[in-house]
Amino acid sequence: MIEKILLSLFLTVLFLLYYVFEYLGPFGTCIGDDVDFNGGRHTLKRVLKAKRGFWRRFIYWDVRNKINKWHYFLFWSGLMSYTIFLIFLNIYVLFDLLYARICFLVFFGVNLTTVLCISLVRRNLYKGNVIRSKKKYRKKG
């Protein structure tokens, strides 16, 4: 039983590091670019430096109106699928239940799909080192 608990703790720490890289990597880049494009160059840094609490900064609560709704939905679906698959992983490791293994694999697949989608969203923006400027995409009206 001690081995199962230690394995569960090890896997939890390992997947926590996985989510930190996921949060700082594709999600942080995509959301940061959205805020820069829609709200100004230094808006995200200014908002994140303000003393408003960890959770408001973690879920980008103060800049959510400057983020593309589809990208914010992918961020939330990635966060929720990560949380659920981590719970099912621990249930599977500790109690060795088949449905927990299946649910873990399903939610891990959903998490990987959201990471793939959010990574591919920015591919066209950075392809060929072309960064779009706000003046070029501004609506003429």
More confident residue, 135 or 83: 83
pTM of the shown model: 0.80
More confident residue, 123 or 86: 86
Confidence of residue 47 (pLDDT cuts 50, 70, 90): confident
Residue by residue, DSSP assigns the chain as -HHHHHHHHHHHHHHHHHHHHHIIIIIHHHHHHHHHHHH-TTHHHHHHHSSS-HHHHHTT-TTGGGS-HHHHHHHHHHHHHHHHHHHHHHHHHHH--HHHHHHHHHHHHHHHHHHHHHHHHTHHHHGGG----HHHHSPP-
More confident residue, 135 or 49: 49
Q: pLDDT tens across 24-44, in order? A: 988 988 888 888 888 877 887
Whether 140 shows a pLDDT value over 80: the answer reads no
Q: pLDDT tens across 14-27, in order? A: 999 999 999 998 89
